[in-house]
Structure 1
Amino acid sequence: MDQNNDSSTDFILLGLFPGFRYPYLLILIVLLIYTIAFAGNALLILLIWLDSCLHTPMYFLLSQLSLIDLAYISSTVPKTVTNYFTGKKNISYFACATQLFFFLTLGIAECVLLTLMAYDRYVAVCNPLRYTVLMSPQVCLQMAAAAWIGGALTALVHTIYPMHFPICSSREINHYFCEMPAILRLSCVDKSAYEMVKLVTTILFLLAPFLLILSSYTLISLTVLRMNSQMGKNKALATCSSHLTVVSLFFGQAIFIYMTPSSSHTPEQDQIVAVLGTMVTPMLNPLIYSLRNKEVVGALKKMIRRKLLSR
């Protein structure tokens, strides 16, 4: 504690896999992932903003997903990298609470947004005649606002509540960022009341959205099977498969961390799963949507063509 000039209220982040034998290699991989994720999501947002062909509800929601992923990976990686290069592992109480708040806000907002994206695909495939009404620009803005505001309000509760638990042991957090389960391990008081609040929240914002997404895609699959046009089937399956891949990546790791008992997995396992959620998924999302989407690839080609002609 003293060597880092920490105050008595500071936490110590032990970092990403502190026992790893090749930390330089690890930090280089993290920086590479961050660069790809930042560039990919920023490019996707830019393409959707510039290309009028992508000014549709589906791509508006996708741009919101990319914005969330940009902020999501930026809420953890810069601090991790800074701590590594400076050799300082401390994080103040306020900074830890702030990081936890933004991390939870973005995570919950992504859960809601992925559910809304599944609803968008359901309306497009199963109720196409009412699509322009059910997914009007006003409705899309309301959906995005609901995801962000709902995430922020819920995150506020889950930041204030656990951060006020007394720390009964070492202030060392065996993680590379301030995550709720890692912080709760530092407290030795009875947390049963908070665990109930946490359970209700995970059901509302994790399990229920996941079940709604599965229901949407079950109905979509039944509708697709009844289609006569093979081209229509292929187009519906292409857009839906991209979203399902993203859903599997994001919800899989979130369910493991927040819906299984903390005693059933080690801090090292938590870190591996957290890396998948906070780094790998934001990096893969734009690649999944761009490489498997002809409209996005077409918009990228048009932008490159314009740049070349302008020279």
Structure 2
Amino acid sequence: MSNLNEIILMNNAFRSCLPSEIGRLKNLTVFDVSINQLLGPLPDAVGNAVSLEQLNVAHNLLSGKIPASICMLPNLQNFTYSFNFFTGEPPACLALPAFDDQRNCLPARPLQRPPAQCKSFLSKPVDCNSFKWTPSPPSPATHPWPPHSSPAPPSPEQPSPTPTPPYCDQSPPPPPPAPTFFPPPHPKSHPPPVYPHLSPPPPHPSHTPSPSPPPPVQYTYPSPPPPSPVYQSPPPTTPPPCETPPEASPPPPVVYNPPPAPVYEGPLPPIIGVPYASPPPPPFY
């Protein structure tokens, strides 16, 4: 750093006080820290930078009196310290080849700040010690914390399964008793009707009308057997899923009574006798 020739830190919004270590830079020729927010006075040690030629500290918040050692540097050609709040300057600064002291709080100098503005700013003293770096006290020995594991992401909420009804082991209901079947009575068989064979009557000498046919013989048809009963097994009953049904008494036995044989009351069809040929009429003489 001792061989550093130029330091230009303009327009960086620095807010602090200038360090006195600047005076150690013996080869420094240009030092420009304009357009910042530097506070406090100019350090007197800056007068030790014997090679300094250009010094610009304009447009800051510097205050106090300018040290005479700075303005008496042997190689200083230009010193700009305008737009600050300086309250005093030695006559040596006014003898420099180039200088700018406008917009300060310098009495008896032209183009200075209003007295009210200077009074308002200077009423708040600046403590440069607050900008100094101080090493922080060593922290007490602490036990290292175990590595913090991030909690697992919550698993998506699964829908609760619908509880299945408990299985009830139930014995199947006893089969219903076999229905008692009474066969229908056998119909009474009737003897077949007897058809009498009538011989033709002998011819009569006189003309007689033909005999009327004999009355029809009535006979009774046997009644047809009743239709066989059709049985349908009752549908199986499904036991309830969980509840135990009350003890059910077995159904009463089914007694089948056959319907009575139908009685035919209508007129019977006429029975035509055995046809025969009528005798020829006797001849007339």
TM-score of the alignment, normalized to the shorter chain, above 0.5: no
Give 1 or 2 for the bigger CA radius of gyration.
Answer: 2
Provide TM-score, normalisation by structure 2. 0.15
Provide TM-score, normalisation by structure 1. 0.14
Greater percentage in helix: 1
Greater percentage in strand: 2
